Chains A and B, each alone.
Chain A
Amino acid sequence: EDKVVQSPLSLVVHEGDTVTLNCSYEVTNFRSLLWYKQEKKAPTFLFMLTSSGIEKKSGRLSSILDKKELFSILNITATQTGDSAVYLCAVGVYTGTASKLTFGTGTRLQVTL
């Protein structure tokens, strides 16, 4: 059974802090790892990672994948209150007919003033 585990489950930080969110996985036929941000509605896409060691960056957010140790991290620097959300990690596997994404339970981040 495919498994995706995120840590911590929740986190409260002050505006301006840097945070690191973790995602580890055990899956068969790994294809990709994706990060999503979810506020009140549908998840919105942040990053897709397929190769080890290549950092993806978007503004204050960055992410990297380690396919040997089976984990990924999502870093957010200089956090702002608008970063408050649930961050979801998902791992894509190929079943032979379609790709299937398994999600972790998410990390709830709260950024306070």
Chain B
Amino acid sequence: NAGVTQTPKFQVLKTGQSMTLQCAQDMNHNSMYWYRQDPGMGLRLIYYSASEGTTDKGEVPNGYNVSRLNKREFSLRLESAAPSQTSVYFCASYREAGGSPLHFGNGTRLTVT
């Protein structure tokens, strides 16, 4: 099983450019999440999705949009990148029943110049 797969692994953008980070999980989990991690700040929740077609804001949603097209995929879009969005982004998924832990992808390191 691949688990949670994120692409790309690295990306450099210029200020104002747009891009989409892709995430897919093959564990049949209902809930999916996007976090960002900055030095000294821990992991902060950007958006999450309880099921296909539903999304909710987390702690730091400004400057981002998300799309949950189907159960497997949850994408994060930066419409106009800013240097403050330089960070490591993690996608994660979670099965609501059964008490399983959050499963993380390997992360995307994004630099905005």
B56 touching A41, Cβ below 8 Å: no
Give the residues from 73 to 110 in chain A that come closer than 8 angstroms, CB to CB, to chain B. 88, 90, 95, 97-106
Interface membership of A50, Cβ < 8 A: yes
Cross-interface CB contact of A105 among B30, B31, B41, B102, cutoff 8 Å? B41
Nearest A residue to B105 via CB reads A42
Interface membership of A32, Cβ < 8 A: yes
- Please report the total number of A residues contacting B with Cβ < 8 Å: 21
Set of chain A residues within 8 Å of B50, measured between Cβ atoms: 95, 97-98
Interface membership of A13, Cβ < 8 A: no
Interface membership of A65, Cβ < 8 A: no
Shortest beta-carbon contacts, A-B, top 3:
A98-B50, A42-B104, A105-B42
Q: Which residues in A have some Cβ–Cβ distance to B below 8 Å?
A: 32, 34, 41-43, 45, 48, 50, 88, 90, 95, 97-106
- Other than the given A42-B106, A43-B43, A90-B102, 15 more pairs (CB < 8 A) read A41-B106, A42-B90, A42-B105, A43-B90, A45-B102, A48-B99, A48-B101, A88-B43, A97-B54, A97-B56, A98-B56, A100-B48, A101-B102, A103-B42, A105-B41
19 pairs, A vs B, C-beta closer than 8 Å = A32-B99, A34-B102, A42-B105, A42-B106, A45-B103, A48-B99, A88-B42, A90-B43, A95-B50, A95-B56, A98-B48, A98-B94, A98-B96, A101-B94, A102-B45, A103-B43, A104-B42, A105-B42, A106-B42
